[in-house]
Amino acid sequence: MIITSPPYADQRKDTYGGISVDKYVEWFLPISQELLRVLKPTGTFILNIKERVLNGERSTYVIELILEMKKQGWLWTEEFIWHKRNCYPGKWPNRFRDAWERLLQFNKTKQFNMYQEAVMIPMGDWAKARLRKLSDTDRIRDTSKAGSGFGKNISNWIGRELAYPTNVLHLATECGNKGHSAAFPEELPSWFIKLFTKEYDIVMDPFMGSGTTVFAAQKLRRNSIGIEIFADYYNTVKKSLKRVELYLLEEETVYG
């Protein structure tokens, strides 16, 4: 699987170059061409992106990109919505706060791997009632410790009554990360890694950045490849990876 969040147009100028709106499609197409080349036929490519507002209008480079990638041979299988619960604040006369991003799913073939059972969620009124009784702090602490998306207490519910999710994801943007700007919260790549890969599969992020995808893959025992143009990010990730290995209580290992 490939999952990435490339620099958005005219965004992150201080770190990345800041690709302009009108050059964006032309800039990304050679990259998606290479991704198409290296992805396995059963693999999936998840592209996290959102168009910015320019002169009071939504730009069209994202939808143009979809059309062009289809010409390259990609199948546009699905569009997931990431609903950002804590979106950026702001007030304008002509629009509300932007609280969602696109998660475009592309495939090479219709026979791609999908493990839906891995992302099932507890459901039913009894579960809601029980979960409400857990304190907020407890729930938060346990989910972040486990890293799997389910906390210690909540994991007890697994196997009781599960339902499949929909194509709308409710996740908060990460708040606690200091020093680096994470493109997406770790839950996001985790969710897709569980959904589209099994253990020892390979996960790749061609715009690694602060390494969210790589860390998520390691915790879920997947091999991973991260590509990053900036040495600072590369070095930080390399250092932090050690810590993840310690967390897993094993020596440096290549899975599979």
* Measured distance CA(203)–CA(1) in Å, rounded: 5
Using the structure block, give the residue that is written with the tokens 């590369």.
234
Specify the stretch interacting with DNA by CB under 7 A; choose among 25-33, 67-75, 128-136, 193-201: 128-136
* Measured distance CA(80)–CA(77) in Å, rounded: 10
Count of residues binding DNA (CB under 7 A)? 69
For residue 150, the minimal CB distance to a second copy (Å) is 9
CB-CB contact of 233 with 209 (8 Å): yes
Residues sharing a CB contact under 8 Å with residue 169, sequence separation 6 or more, in sequence order: 80, 81, 82, 83, 103, 188, 191
Binding mask 39-78 for a second copy (x = CB under 8 A): ----------------xxxx-x--xx-xx--x----xxxx
For residue 157, the minimal CB distance to a second copy (Å) is 11
Question: Is 121 or 244 the residue whose CB approaches DNA more closely?
Answer: 121
Residues sharing a CB contact under 8 Å with residue 196, sequence separation 6 or more, in sequence order: 1, 43, 44, 46, 112, 113, 114, 115
Among the listed residues 127, 225, 241, 244, the single contact to DNA using CB under 7 A: 127
Nearest 5°: the CA angle 50, 224, 28 is 35
Among the listed residues 130, 221, 236, 240, the single contact to DNA using CB under 7 A: 130
* Measured distance CA(209)–CA(212) in Å, rounded: 8
Helix (H, G, I), strand (E, B), or coil: what is residue 205?
Answer: strand
- Bridging pattern class, strands 57-58 and 44-49: unpaired
For residue 200, the minimal CB distance to DNA (Å) is 25
Query: Contact between 7 and a second copy (CB under 8 A)?
Result: no
Q: How many CB atoms lie within 10 A of CB 218?
A: 21
Binding mask 22-61 for DNA (x = CB under 7 A): --------------------------x-x-xx--x-----
Query: Contact between 113 and DNA (CB under 7 A)?
Result: no
Q: How many CB atoms lie within 10 A of CB 251?
A: 7
Rg, Å, the chain Cα set? 19
Query: Contact between 230 and a second copy (CB under 8 A)?
Result: no
Question: Is 37 or 85 the residue whose CB approaches DNA more closely?
Answer: 85
Give the interface with DNA as residue ranges (CB under 7 A): 5-8, 11-12, 48, 50, 52-53, 56, 84-95, 97-98, 101, 121, 123-124, 126-127, 129-130, 132-133, 135-138, 140-142, 144-146, 148-154, 156-157, 160, 163-164, 172-178, 181-184, 207
